[in-house]
Amino acid sequence: MPVTTTSAAIHITPVVIKTFIKHAKRKGIKLKDGDSSVNGWDDILYDEAFHIVKAFIELGTRNTIESLQAFTNTHVPAPFWCAVVPAKIPLSSCNKAADALIEWFGPEELKHVVGGERWWQIRGMEWLDAEWITEKAYLKDDLPELDKQLTEDEKTTLRMEHLDRVMLYVHGGAYFWGSINTHRYQVIRYARKMHGRAFAVNYRKAPQYPWPCPVQDVLAAYFYLTSPPPGAVHQPVHPSKLVFAGDSAGAALCLTVLTVLRDIGLPQPAGAVLISPWVDLTHSFPSVMNNTATDIIPPHGFIHKPSPLWPVNPTAEEGYTRAIPTRTNPPPQPGHADKLKPDGDRATDQTGERTENSAGKGGEHAADLQESPENVASQKEMQKEDSIDNPGSDAAPVGESDAPEKDNDRVNGKDDLDYAAAEEFWEPKPPKVLMEDPNATPLELRAQIQIYATTEQLSHPLVSPVLQSSLGNLCPLYILTGDGECLRDEIIYVAHKAAHPKDYPSRQGVYREGRRQKENAEKFQTPTKVHLQIFDDMCHVLTVFTFTEPAKYAYRSIAQFIKHVTDNTEEHLSSNPFPELHRPPSEISDSESGHGNVGPPKLSTPSKGSSRSRSKSPQRPRGPFAKTETESGQSDVEMYRSNEAIAKKEVRRGKAERLHSQGSSSVTAHEDSDKDISGVYMIRERVDVLGHVRPMEPAEEIDALRLKPYEIGLIKEAPVMRWLAGQEAWDKKYKRAADHVIRKRRQYEAKADRLLEHAKEQGLIHEELRPHRSRASSAASVSSRSVGEVESDRRWGPLDLKDENPPPSAIAGRKDTSEAVALLRKTIYHNAPATHRTVPKLKTSDAVRAAFDPHDHPFKPPQQSVSEQQVHAQLMPMHGLRIWQSIVELFMRKSTKKVEHGTKRASSALRSTGDKLTSGASSSRSDSDPLPSVLSQVS
């Protein structure tokens, strides 16, 4: 059964019941033992929601990727009290983003690392889906000067123009699922609390559109906002009024795009909010293995039921296997993937080896190369070989290990021609796994581990930002992570790397393999201002659980950060980017507070200089004990104000990190003044389950920060073996499905070949298919024969991949999936790229077949990939995404009622106790005894 609302309900309902029973037992044991400690699992609502989310993600792994993508990319109507306006980012903005990436990569890296400059620009739709989001109550009244010819959506867009704070939100989902629909409810809360508007982008997703497709789309959204194309309704958003925000994969995309903007000299936004960013796709940090039980990530990672789309190799055809003991000595070294661009004489050497191998019994690919088993060294022996990334080789400063590469000594002439031919023939050898036993023979990987990028690309700095040579000189960052999540360690590391670019260098191989990385390490040494918070007991993306106390505080704190960086000048932010250290404290109006409720906000007109009322806002009980119930009742604003004061104390006590030019005396001077506390460049805090902050322990006590540069970005045994165990279990469970996939792929490939052949018969003219006439004569052919059109802004299509090497899963280079056939058909018959000279008519026989195909149409363009185009369900009384939003709203209301009840009981008990104590002690206490007055104040 695919991922649907019904299948989700069937799968999740038993989980809800089991969780309730286990929670009751655990709570009873704590009460029996007199255990008064408080943790996140004491809250039944968080306990249930955590297991609901975890169960849903596990359900996704039991289904195909396309099924999960379709469910999470289904259009769901927005709540009536929100203003949500669909937006279409045109191809012109996408092309501008492509040009920026082409400039960043350069021709050599584009060719060898990315696989070309065309395939990742290919898309099915004529635009990129996005949407504007804000509260309806924030809209200006109908503007009489608006053009009557404007649509209602365009008018609504103009009515939110006065909201100058803009958040560009990039949703998460492991780069392959999720959409603006799954995250809309969270984005609405941000827009309300920051009293601004948000712009959410529905970027293309892997495996159909792998790296760097999502990077291009986020860049396109940035250009759409800051440089609106002709026809856009909104005015340009100045970067100083823009903040990037995202969660998980979306947060990593935000960080990646920030480094691209920095490197090519474009303006960065005012700040960025990174919630649980996934910054190391090699899984080289300890928490990836240690925190599995306390996180929502599936136990074996993201593995899925086989489909024509994924995995690339669903069965063990022709002796294929995912991992075997390595059959060759380095390179690459254990833990590393081979270079995508060879250096020295390796290309010519490999050409000779493969040619000789293919003439004998062996295969002709690099993966087929092997040495005699007795000559294959152990891992320990391999690491003795001279390698820049072996242990102990990371200490050399940038520039000191830059011996000239062998190919630099070649002279022009025949050698250059031979090398160029060998370079074209080059294939990287399989990556080697770093084993825990140094005497073991390393494994070598034959399969792609991550869905987002090939294994050879995982250590690229735009795939795993933790491997950037420098994260200095970026805009202010607010980084949040849960202490119980698998990505905790890499997030802690990347935060410190940004704030201390000199203290956390990358391994030397990064400088050698990327032309920009050595330059960046030397060029960007200014510390990035960072506020890092680690939330006790929280899992991945804590903001999903909006009803919890830590999440309520997080939403408020994020809103205050956005307001601070967008309302103040760049000069001011260079001195103080932290709202907690702003003097006087920032204002929070009633309209932004939300009072912890859900649904339509109750608005009041905020007056300048006013602050939110201190009236109690009911909150959820923070545990099963009376002790914690008496502490409840704080609103998110009150939590923020309390933590704001603690942040000030942290600075005074030297817990925050300050620039050397700023002495401690400046703190004292500013303590009681109306000036900002300046000179702080990093605040490091932990947040407990009550939403209260405390300083983090020193950096030297944090395990994640003890890793050496050469240990980061390695492919290690434990994560690989866990992934392999899951894959082997899935191979047995879905063997019949995998066999069926092979047959389906052959059918789709035959269909694509037939479609292409018929298109040529109908007059398709393309430079790679047949000689064509001049552009002037072909233009007449287009107008006279076509039913579609050639789009000048659509640069490339699936027929334009000569000399390109797209990843195996990329839809642009495939013909063996239904989505690949749909893309091919659309770019031939409906919306052709500029390289096509004609747009032919559909052959009658193909039109008849399309009429009987539920996924096709004889006249309209076919539905494009669910990783790109939203699904608009015809019958959808209640979609699962809307049900989840309803569950969150229910939990918010339940928590509010619980706390109201708990607070009343606590107050009643205190009054009763006070009356008894007062009456019993009246004869022995004097009139000056303060107890009655104290109890009166408490009650």
Q: Is 498 left (phi over 0), alpha (psi -120 to 50) or beta?
A: alpha
Please say whether the beta carbons of 56 and 10 come within 8 A.
no
User: Which residues make Cβ contacts (< 8 Å) with residue 148, sequence separation at least 6?
Assistant: none
Report which of 824, 823, 748, 755 is spatially closest to residue 307, judged by C-alpha positions. Answer: 748
pLDDT above 50 for 403? no
For residue range 424-465, list pLDDT tens digits in order: 778 889 999 999 999 999 999 999 999 999 999 999 999 999
pLDDT in tens, 882-917: 666 666 666 656 655 554 554 455 445 445 544 544
Q: 610, 587 in Cβ contact below 8 A?
A: yes
| Two tokens, residue 64 | 């195909």
What phi, psi does 130 have (nearest 5°)? -155, 180
* Span 329-374, pLDDT tens digits: 999 999 999 888 877 677 777 777 777 776 655 457 778 888 888 8
Least confident piece of the model among 71-85, 107-121, 318-332, 340-354: 340-354
- Residue 832 predicted with pLDDT over 90: yes
In 10 A of CB 705, how many CB atoms? 18
Beta carbons within 8 Å of 921's beta carbon, 6+ residues apart = 929, 931
SS3 label, residue 274:
strand
Q: Kindly state the tokens that stand for 779.
A: 């233009």
pLDDT at 701 over 50: yes
pLDDT at 117 over 80: yes
Tell me how far CA of residue 857 lies from CA of 122, 218, 310, 862, in angstroms: 22, 31, 25, 6
Q: At what angle do helices 346-359 and 414-425 cross, to 10 degrees?
A: 60
Q: How far apart are CA 231 and CA 71, in angstroms?
A: 32
pLDDT for the residue numbered 4: 87
pLDDT at 100 over 60: yes
Q: CA 338, CA 458: separation in Å to the nearest integer?
A: 11
Q: How many CB atoms are closer than 10 A to CB 562?
A: 27
Region 218-237: mean pLDDT is 97
Instruction: Encode pLDDT of 280-335 as tens digits.
Output: 999 999 999 999 999 999 989 999 999 999 999 998 766 678 999 999 999 999 99
Q: What is the pLDDT of residue 367?
A: 80
Neighbours of 728 (CB within 10 A): 13
The arithmetic mean of pLDDT across residues 418-423, rounded, is 68
pLDDT at 323: 93
User: To 5 degrees, how large is the angle CA 204–CA 242–CA 187?
Assistant: 60
CB-hemisphere CA count at 13 Å for 882? Answer: 11
Which pLDDT score, from 0 to 100, does residue 935 have? 29
E strand residue ranges, 290-429: 323-325
Confidence bin at 664 (pLDDT 50/70/90) = very low
- Residue with the bigger pLDDT between 614 and 64: it is 64
Which residue type, as a one-letter code, is found at position 840? P
* pLDDT level of residue 665 (50, 70, 90 thresholds): very low
pLDDT value of position 562: 98
